[in-house]
Amino acid sequence: MEIGPIWRAMSRNKTSYLLIAMQIAVTMAIMVNAFSIIQERSRMMARPSGVDEDNIFYLSSIGFLPEFDGRSASEEDLDALRRFPGVANAIMTNTVPLQGGGWSQGLRTEPGEEIESIGVAVYFVDEHGIDTFDVNLTQGRNFAPTEIMMFDPDANGARWPDKIIITQAMAEALFPDSPNDAIGRTVYIEDDLPITIIGVLQRMQAAWKEWSGVERAMLVPMKRKQNSFRYVIRAEPGYRDELMPQIEKMLAEKNTGRIIRGMTTMTETRERSYLEDSAMIKLLVFIVGVLTAITGLGIVGLASFSVARRSKQIGVRRALGATRPAILRYFMLENFLISSVGVVGGALLAVGLNVWMVHAFDLTPIAWYVIPTAMLILWLVGQLAVFGPARRATLVSPAVATRAV
């Protein structure tokens, strides 16, 4: 191996090599951190919401006539929806996972405002909630129809029902020592109102995807007296798209004192929710691709210039006994050394940048395998980039050595 002489030769003429090594280092630092961001966003996007996203859609009903009676209208609507062919189930609720807007509350394991509460997303449902969302009840039971509380904000009555169903993540947050013994335990809402946990869901995400407690949610058996509400409808598999215009038409015709709007599928909600993340991933992939291509072209340029500048030297080496593979190996090795300087510098730069980004943007630190993977990619890019010019170098005739110019 000619590592020693190549290294010494490069060190005596280092400016152009250092520039390329720096370019590789910067590319690597950006590549590693971009990959880390892509990985984090992809992981976030891949989280299941817990509900049957493929078959659920939802819409809003907004009563506008003074005589519109929200309570009776919703009872009639839900009855009609549940009977509608192709509808698996339907509920009236306040929001859906990933929708972006919703309610949250704090639950405590002990009463008293001095006790720290744990935030939880609130879904108001009736006994059809679990089936409509198609969430997995892993412990306890569903609400009974008699347990559904009718809440009138204008009346003086109980503000919260006495039973709830929570997600497993909420159970773990409330009872870190015994998360699987949540059934029957009492928690407190609004400082000191006791509520008993009657069921635990495997998963149901909150409406806010970036919330650190996105996996914490609770189903509250409550119907609120109001004139604007949201229906969530789960279609039988394969019927969703067909059903949506029919449902909209049916509800609009059924009661002309309200308008129906905002018909949206859960699939669209997920796409819209992660639109920025998806765009960010595409942008980062593009940037990394362009940077890598520019670095590759830089290496091609340097190697081509180097071959042209050193054609006499290559001829001399050939005259002194270098075979064509030896010339190829020389340039590949030279590039490998430049790339090695670049990727080692890049690794340090990447770690430094990541430490800063972790502090500044609360990102996850780089996974251990990202840096070696990026090193391999950039070594490979370097070797591929230099192969063409190196191959041209092998075609230099040894007779060049005896030419005067």
Closest CB 379 distance from another protein, rounded Å: 24
Question: Cβ of 290: how many Cβ atoms within 10 Å?
Answer: 11
* 201 token code pair: 């869901």
Question: Cβ of 260: how many Cβ atoms within 10 Å?
Answer: 20
Considering beta carbons, is residue 38 or 302 the nearer one to another protein? 302
* 361 token code pair: 């943007």
Pick from 237, 294, 312, 355: which binds another protein (CB under 8 A)?
312
HSE-up of residue 278 (Cα within 13 Å, Cβ side)? 8
Between vectors from CA 252 to CA 247 and to CA 257, what angle results, nearest 5°? 145
Considering beta carbons, is residue 4 or 176 the nearer one to another protein? 4
Task: Tell me the window of 31-39, 212-220, 263-271, 311-319 that interacts with another protein (CB under 8 A).
Answer: 311-319
Closest CB 399 distance from another protein, rounded Å: 4
Q: Residue 13, interface with another protein (CB under 8 A)?
A: yes
Task: Tell me the window of 7-15, 219-227, 228-236, 359-367 that interacts with another protein (CB under 8 A).
Answer: 7-15
Q: Are 241 and 248 in contact (CB under 8 A)?
A: no
Q: Are 137 and 200 in contact (CB under 8 A)?
A: yes
Q: Are 143 and 222 in contact (CB under 8 A)?
A: no
In the stretch 314-343, what mask flags binding to another protein with x, by CB under 8 A? --xxxxxxxxxxx-----------------
* 179 token code pair: 């998360």
SS3 278: helix
Considering beta carbons, is residue 118 or 316 the nearer one to another protein? 316
Task: List the one residue out of 194, 208, 187 whose CA is nearest residue 103.
Answer: 208
Considering beta carbons, is residue 282 or 324 the nearer one to another protein? 324
Q: Annotate 225-252 with three-state secondary structure.
A: CCCEEEEEEEECCCCHHHHHHHHHHHHH
Number of residues that bind another protein (CB under 8 A): 27
Closest CB 306 distance from another protein, rounded Å: 11
Closest CB 366 distance from another protein, rounded Å: 37
Closest CB 11 distance from another protein, rounded Å: 9
Closest CB 384 distance from another protein, rounded Å: 24
Q: Residue 313, interface with another protein (CB under 8 A)?
A: yes
Binding positions for another protein, rule: CB under 8 A = 2, 4-5, 8-10, 12-13, 312-313, 316-326, 397-399, 401-402, 404
